[in-house]
Chains A and B, each alone.
Chain A
């Protein structure tokens, strides 16, 4: 990150509608700089659209409005990395070329030093031996690790993650959560997830988006333990169960 601090992000008066149906309106919140904020909520409540809005992407098929500003007053453009639920690896490129895709897209030449950094990142996510392989030769977990290396390669102070581990088996998810928490320690991370335990393991703050039209509220802070938190403790299990009950209850209300 070249020593630059990770800025906070302020979202103001965000609204989303699909064909005139208001999904949410007037949402305002702040993501603290250098912290992980998780956003929980039932399906269809607009979590991914909110994340896409912060990323500067249009809402798929909907109309989104509001404003997004970085806490340091500088533009967000070029300071955001994005990791989706699917790995989005390009099948015609090798794993190494996928990791350094940003270079190709920005038209900047890839030097020997950049190549070494990419290889080092692949080593950190346990894919050093697969640098020259095509994505089709990798398992789901390996592909998502390659996607994480690509996110890290971007070296951006703000990282937006849209259910990045939800398609993985439990063990792979657990390991990848640890890797991500370690490697994205000081970034401003916004994590959209369905999984209360994932939010509790990784986040400093947990926001819940529920209702129709949806409203946003912050839950009690996760246990004061270093991230990634061990999911085995009683306190964590009780908090996850409470969060799950909370979500299930509001989903029932919405239905």
Chain B
């Protein structure tokens, strides 16, 4: 069974399970609307949902890009300079010990109700998995490769560029995949705390008016967006590490 067919089967399976749950529990539509009702709302209110989805997508993509760049740069800084490592590592751990969700009201206060606070939230949530995975990859390079490179006359910068960086790409890809999976959480939580647009805002708004079907429609769009982004990042990560046998290129 090819990948697309597997995905479709999983998607239909989940929808079927959802529908079955509605039938079995006989839940009222304001508690748990059935799939046809939600799809009808999705079609009827496409022009309401789409602009909000666009804003959330922009927040996620900018947050993911910034988080990846900052995380990548931090990992490179950590591996390159021992004094920086001694100071920065504890700061990174402390930054993760603080629940990012608790920071959302502060970020809204500092960056306002617009795009910036949600981007900051998404960036914060993405930054650590990228830094941790990439740094780990840079650190765990086969020592034999490093020995060989040193005997061949490679300097620190060249060894970083030619050996450590490519060797760490699979770990970087793993961090990026985790970051992509959690990126929508950052953006949506940011929207819940304070915003005037985005799918998180729309869901909160619909929830307040008991429009559960609209809330589910927005949730469905968010899920599709998150899956699409994950698939794109996964494809990009695989393209970066085509040399790995499990990526089908040898």
Contact = CB atoms under 8 A, between A and B. Distances in A.
Nearest to A85: B144
B130 to A, nearest CB: 20
Interface stretch (B7-15, B85-93, B96-104, B154-162): B154-162
A57 B150 contact: yes
B152 A84 contact: no
Interface in A90-147: 90-93, 101-102, 104-107, 133-134, 136-137
B243 A106 contact: no
Contacts of B158: 104-107
B250 interface: yes
Contacts of B26: none
Given A52-B147, A84-B148, A86-B144, A106 B250 contact: no
Interface in B145-202: 145, 147-154, 158-159, 162-163, 166-167, 169
Interface residues of A, number: 29
At the interface, is chain B mostly helix, strand, loop or mixed?
A: helix
A190 B124 CA distance: 53
Given A90-B166, A104-B162, A136-B245, A82 B250 contact: no
Interface in A75-91: 77-78, 80-82, 84, 86, 88, 90-91
Given A90-B163, A134-B249, A57 B243 contact: no
Contacts of A134: 243, 249-250
Contacts of A136: 243, 245, 250
Contacts of B149: 101, 105
A56 B151 contact: yes
Contacts of A91: 243-244
B151 A80 contact: yes
Contacts of B148: 82, 84, 88, 101
Given A86-B144, A92-B243, A101 B151 contact: no
